[in-house]
């Protein structure tokens, strides 16, 4: 009888140990979340929309009004600095909603092209 109790005790201890090790591995395998992960995703979404709705393409042709409208339609509690530069570093476009100092800004970047030229769109965003 003592053998059965000792065996059951060992099996229960083994199950608990495997559970604790598995839970620890699961927690350690997740990448740490950035404090402003939502704001970064929001910035990237704005750049994606600008690409897909033709705002950048229209801007490359000299008319940046669509991109300006898209930037201004961002949430009012988000401040931003939107810059479009070409491969040589020439700043083709810049628009900002500066709401004061920012220490925790996030930067979303996207490479955009009009098939002949390559640009980098950078959206730096922070909360008011």
Helix (H) or strand (E) holding 92: strand 91-97
CA 49 to centroid of chain Cα atoms: 14
Instruction: Give the pLDDT score at 50.
Output: 95
Instruction: Give the pLDDT score at 1.
Output: 67
Instruction: Give the pLDDT score at 66.
Output: 94
Instruction: Give the pLDDT score at 11.
Output: 82
Instruction: Give the pLDDT score at 34.
Output: 63
Backbone angles phi, psi at 60, to 5 degrees: -65, -25
Contacts of 34 (CB under 8 A, 6+ apart): 40, 106
Instruction: Give the pLDDT score at 26.
Output: 79
Instruction: Give the pLDDT score at 32.
Output: 63
- Structure tokens given for 24: 């620890």
Low-confidence ranges of the chain (pLDDT < 50): none
Helices (H) and strands (E) in the chain, counts: 4, 4
Is residue 59 a contact partner of residue 113, using CB atoms and an 8 Å limit?
no
- Parse the chain into domains and list their residue ranges: 1-30, 37-127
Closest-CA residue to 50 (of 36, 26, 68): 68
Instruction: Give the pLDDT score at 27.
Output: 75
């Amino acid at each position: 009888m003592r053998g059965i109790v000792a065996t059951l005790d060992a099996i229960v201890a083994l199950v608990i140990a495997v559970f604790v090790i598995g839970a620890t591995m699961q927690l350690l395998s997740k990448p740490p979340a950035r404090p402003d992960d939502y704001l970064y995703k929001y910035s990237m979404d704005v750049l994606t929309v600008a690409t897909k709705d033709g705002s950048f393409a229209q801007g490359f042709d000299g008319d940046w009004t669509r991109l300006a409208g898209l930037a201004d339609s961002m949430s009012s509690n988000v401040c931003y600095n939107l810059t479009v530069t070409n491969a040589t570093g020439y700043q083709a476009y810049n628009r900002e909603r500066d709401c004061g100092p920012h220490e925790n800004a996030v930067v979303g970047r996207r490479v955009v092209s009009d098939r002949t030229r390559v640009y980098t769109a950078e959206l730096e965003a922070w909360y008011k």
